[in-house]
Structure 1
Amino acid sequence: MTFNYLNLVGNAELIKQLNYAMIYRLIVQQAPVSRIQLAEISQLAPASITKITRQLLKSNLIKEVDAQQSTGGRPAVSIQAKFDYYQTIAVQLSRSRVTIELYDLGAKNLVTEIYPLTTFTQQLAEEYLIALIEQFIEQNSKKIKHLVAISVVLPGLVDSVRGIIRYTPHIPVKAWPLAEALHHKFNISIFIGNDIQSLALAESYFGSTQDVDDSILIRVHRGVGSGIIINQQLLTNHNQTVGEVGHIQVDALGERCHCGNFGCLENRVINKAIEHRAKQMIEQGYPTKLSLGNCNIANICKYANQGDELAIKLVKDAGENLGRAVAMMVNIFNPQSIVLAGELTKSPEILLHAVNSALNAQSLEELRKNLTIHCSSLNDRSAIGAFALVQQALFNGSLLMTLLEDKES
């Protein structure tokens, strides 16, 4: 049998990356924490902890703080993450606008800028985005000390491993290698991802699902998308399409969807569908404070909260249909938490009651015993999902090792 030294070296490098990532994540999540505590929690040798923390200190990723209370002998020095040395740019590319935000490594939003987005070709969109990022960097040069990554999220089918956009609803693309283009221009780490999947990851890192292993985020806007977190990891497959819930059939006698099916969830709960139904019912004479000129989703939620019967019915109907899809996902994935996002959550009490009603009727009791359902604590129109991809790269060690290598070179 031939001994493969390349495999041995590769495995050693992977183990090193995973160990560094584990210690960094423990410091972020457990701080302040001592080296002794890190050794106990991680089961790594004290010498390994000393080596890892020395490198993290040298790279300005962590810092030593006041000594912890000691029970005798030499006091243990505490360690915590150092967030303000590095910065990242996070971008959300939606159908109508580009949101660019500056973050430190602690997910602190330092700057937000919003720019309009009109219909573009792939090439024009790429040139426009690069120009906006260049302008953003120039305008915020005093706050950008050490820029280490740019992350972009957008709706559609995104190959996040290769950094290629396969499909997005607002720009005609053909295997758009956006990550390559951005890396060529800015020469730093680039991350590309789906906006809803990234938002689920952000909820797990910074939002209401930090304390659970398994969660699902469902966002309702122009479409319906979801992100699934299993064992604190974003669930993906070879095609990055896990969690397509918008075309679950919730009404067999419903209207035909553009996908060819009948009664899809998307046709019942997206903003446009609810607004269209509101206009139909107003024209039929339903008593309401809403009018044909003001029945947008924001006003529908506003009047529902004020007790308007038609508005309540619209939110309730959407919630019940959403609950049918939630029940299917609970039966399949058995998550600990379901998080809802989008404008419809501006009427949380009515929405959640309706979702729970449908869920209780159509899911297994054992699977929903300890399940919580709530509305997102994050701003789903910000670029926090894009920053979550950076956090993920720090926690899995890929970006972390890049920063360590840069300091050594």
Structure 2
Amino acid sequence: MDTKQVVNIDQVKQINMAAVYRLIDKLGPISRVQIAQSSQLAGASITKITRQLLEAGLIAEVSQQQSTGGRRATSLMSRPHFRLATVRLGRGILDLAMYDLTGQVHQKESHTLGAQTQEQLLPELIDYIGTFLEKQHKNKPIALALTLSGLVSPSNGFVIYAPYYELKQCPLGQILEQQFKLPTYVGNDTRAMALAEHYFGQSVDISDSVLVSVHHGTSAGIIIDGQVFMHRNRDLAEIGHIQVDPLGERCHCGNIGCLETICSNPALLARARKLLSQGSISKLKPTDSIEVLYQLAAQADELCEMLVRQAARALGKTLASVVNLLNPQVILISGEICLAQAIVFEEIHKSISHQALSSFAQQLEIRAAHYQNNPTVGGLALIKRAMLNGELLMQIIEQHSH
């Protein structure tokens, strides 16, 4: 027999298990007959899969559907009671939360981190996560997820590069999994946030979307056909390092005039302070926060509005190229920049309508992201994905059967 024709039985099991669970999760209450009709799987396979899911507590039988003459069909629904531990590693801050599968938060806390290098970070991280998990003695989570800014290989939780903590070639997923004995998922925070919007937020039921996050830097997460867009398991969409001004300022990446040098919170504040020191008139004070700058822009403060329009035009120019490449249905904007939403969206719309294909631009919607101040929800999305693709389902079922 040709080895190419040898089917990986475990893989088929996982695919079938995931297909049944997804239908129950999305359409429940749903009968086994309806699952068979939608999945094209044999009745015997569905009976076996649903039995395993029931025994592991992943789904539940609920009130019977209206009889059509024969025996009443029992409906099935997914059970959201499982707890999921999520961590967001930010710049000098650690956010932790406990969710259930519907996205409801049951506990959350934040800590300031003193660490600045990989050697300092790992013990501090393990200590805080360990203490948080110990508090969950009654509701032990089924999985752990961590998101951070930087380049990550999501298949194995390997952090290729995370600038703030000098993390390089760090097997973070493996370290956490060994330490806490939980299935662990590590991913880029913006890509994970795009997925969270797709599962629970502003792009539910939309197959193709782009999330742009404007914070300390500018990054994007692309969803194509309901999946995070990646190539050979590598992160894509580093739009912050697309050149928008060849005569601009040097970026920390080494290049000149990247989008981040114009459209990011530090870039806007730096430019505002420089202009204020040169005598520009504004209600903005040099010590004011980025939130104040955006709020003043929305209130038509001349200097602040000029800076925000400039940043939004640069972002729109970059997004026009993204629209031409990918033709998304929706672009979501995340960050404090949404405090000046009317100005920002107007400039983005203008840039896209001038520079993108008109048939693409006309059908495009721009929305503020739903999750603006919920840093841990990206981790929830990574665990939800592992449930829906069958990876975590299989682990839970295997644990239950032992």
Q: What are the Cα deviations for residues 254-310 of structure 1, in whole angstroms up to 9, with x where unaligned?
A: 22323343221010011011112222333344443212232x210012222333233
Task: Identify the match of residue 31 of structure 2 among 25, 30, 34.
Answer: 34
Task: Identify the match of residue 360 of structure 2 among 355, 359, 367.
Answer: 367
Task: Identify the match of residue 151 of structure 2 among 141, 150, 157.
Answer: 157
Task: Identify the match of residue 244 of structure 2 among 244, 250, 253.
Answer: 250
Task: Identify the match of residue 277 of structure 1 among 266, 271, 281.
Answer: 271
Task: Identify the match of residue 305 of structure 1 among 282, 298, 306.
Answer: 298
Tell me the equivalent position of 1:353. 346
Q: Is the 8 A contact 2:96 2:110 kept in 1?
A: yes
Paired AA for residue 200 in structure 2: F
Tell me the equivalent position of 1:183. 177
Cα distance in structure 2, aligned partners of 1:348 and 1:155: 24
| 1:395 to 2:392 alignment | no
Structure 1: gaps (5+ residues): none
The 1:358/1:262 distance shift into structure 2, 3 A limit, reads same
Root mean square deviation of aligned Cα: 1.9
The 5-angstrom pairing of residues 40-51 of structure 1 reads 40-51=37-48
Paired AA for residue 59 in structure 2: I
Task: Identify the match of residue 61 of structure 1 among 58, 62, 66.
Answer: 58
Structure 1 residue 381 displacement after superposition: 4.6
Cα distance in structure 1, aligned partners of 2:370 and 2:220: 16
Tell me the SS of whatever aligns to 1:90. strand
Tell me the SS of whatever aligns to 1:147. coil
| 1:83 to 2:77 alignment | no
The 1:258/1:120 distance shift into structure 2, 3 A limit, reads closer
Cα distance in structure 1, aligned partners of 2:123 and 2:312: 41
Tell me the equivalent position of 2:95. 99
Paired AA for residue 164 in structure 2: H
Cα distance in structure 2, aligned partners of 1:173 and 1:389: 21
Tell me the equivalent position of 1:22. 19
Cα distance in structure 2, aligned partners of 1:372 and 1:175: 38
**Identical counterparts, % of pairs:** 39
Cα distance in structure 1, aligned partners of 2:218 and 2:373: 13
Q: Is the 8 A contact 1:95 1:169 kept in 2?
A: no
Cα distance in structure 2, aligned partners of 1:124 and 1:263: 33
Tell me the SS of whatever aligns to 2:316. helix
| 1:127 to 2:123 alignment | yes
Task: Identify the match of residue 230 of structure 2 among 205, 225, 236.
Answer: 236
Structure 1 residue 347 displacement after superposition: 1.8
Q: What are the Cα deviations for residues 188-242 of structure 1, in whole angstroms up to 9, with x where unaligned?
A: 2111111111111111111111111111111111111111111111111246231
The 1:240/1:308 distance shift into structure 2, 3 A limit, reads same
| 1:114 to 2:110 alignment | yes
The 1:74/1:157 distance shift into structure 2, 3 A limit, reads same
Q: Is the 8 A contact 1:119 1:170 kept in 2?
A: no
Task: Identify the match of residue 262 of structure 1 among 253, 256, 265.
Answer: 256
Task: Identify the match of residue 148 of structure 1 among 142, 151, 164.
Answer: 142
Task: Identify the match of residue 190 of structure 2 among 185, 193, 196.
Answer: 196
Tell me the SS of whatever aligns to 1:165. strand
| 1:384 to 2:377 alignment | yes
Paired AA for residue 45 in structure 1: A
Structure 1 residue 64 displacement after superposition: 1.5
Q: What are the Cα deviations for residues 154-182 of structure 1, in whole angstroms up to 9, with x where unaligned?
A: 11111222222121111123421112221
Q: Is the 8 A contact 2:335 2:372 kept in 1?
A: no
Paired AA for residue 179 in structure 1: G
Tell me the equivalent position of 1:337. 330
Size of the alignment, in residue pairs? Answer: 402
Structure 1 residue 71 displacement after superposition: 3.7
Cα distance in structure 1, aligned partners of 2:291 and 2:200: 26
Q: Is the 8 A contact 1:65 1:78 kept in 2?
A: yes
Q: Is the 8 A contact 2:80 2:102 kept in 1?
A: yes
Tell me the SS of whatever aligns to 1:175. strand
Cα distance in structure 1, aligned partners of 2:308 and 2:168: 38
Which stretch of the first structure deviates more once superposed, 74-83 or 190-199? 74-83
What TM-score comes out, normalization by structure 1 length?
0.93
